[in-house]
Chain A
Amino acid sequence: RKEVEQDPGPFNVPEGATVAFNCTYSNSASQSFFWYRQDCRKEPKLLMSVYSSGNEDGRFTAQLNRASQYISLLIRDSKLSDSATYLCVVNPIGNQFYFGTGTSLTVIP
């Protein structure tokens, strides 16, 4: 079983739509969770950390459900510039980040 599994995608949504990505992880001892964004042929960039209480940053909301070992990212009012691959990342305390395969989002005019 993979450490991190994400929605397969791709997601193609119109501008202004709300879109949600889901991710599950297998290691119940995991302590840190993140969403990274990766543009085509570029490096991953931190979008937001995910906290147990959930957190929001503008149009982006991240949720963590430890009981179900599940992480989500909600994007409201999608912009063309949101088109990218979104990577779910899980880190048990220590050294190794586990990445999902990524979910591709295309926002259509």
Chain B
Amino acid sequence: ETGVTQSPTHLIKTRGQQVTLRCSSQSGHNTVSWYQQALGQGPQFIFQYYREEENGRGNFPPRFSGLQFPNYSSELNVNALELDDSALYLCASSLPPGRITDTQYFGPGTRLTVL
């Protein structure tokens, strides 16, 4: 087990609603990245948080936002949910960015279904 936890494990929402997903990083890891994995696809990078600030963002609209807290845990918020937001949302923790051998360890994910 990686020590990365996510909640909830499953979630069902309807279009237009808002959702908050949570992640606790592995002990000693201060960097958290969020990914969206649609069925049959590889994970797609949403954004990364380091020292409580966004440190890089993928090709996702502003309705995807996040936070990181002083204890390094993180939240992913998605507003105005769309059907295409249905996916597995993965959180990964790692040591500070910029290390050549940086490795990310994933939590079990939150499976979001938008109806």
Contacts and interface: CB of A to CB of B under 8 A. Distances in A.
Interface of A: 4, 31-32, 34, 41-46, 49, 87, 91, 93-102
A94 B56 contact: yes
B106 A43 contact: yes
A44 B43 contact: yes
B66 interface: no
A4 to B, nearest CB: 8
B48 A95 contact: yes
B102 interface: yes
A41 B9 CA distance: 12
Contact of A96 (B56, B103, B106, B108): B56
A32 B101 contact: yes
Given A49-B101, A95-B48, A101 B108 contact: no
Given A43-B108, A44-B90, A98 B45 contact: yes
A68 to B, nearest CB: 21
B40 A101 contact: yes
B103 to A, nearest CB: 6
Interface string B35-48: 10000111111001
B58 A96 contact: yes
Contacts of B58: 96
Nearest to B92: A97
Nearest to B48: A95
Contacts of B106: 43-45
Contacts of B31: 95
Interface centre among A44, A45, A94, A100 (most CB of B within 10 A): A44
Given A43-B106, A43-B109, A46-B105, A93 B42 contact: no
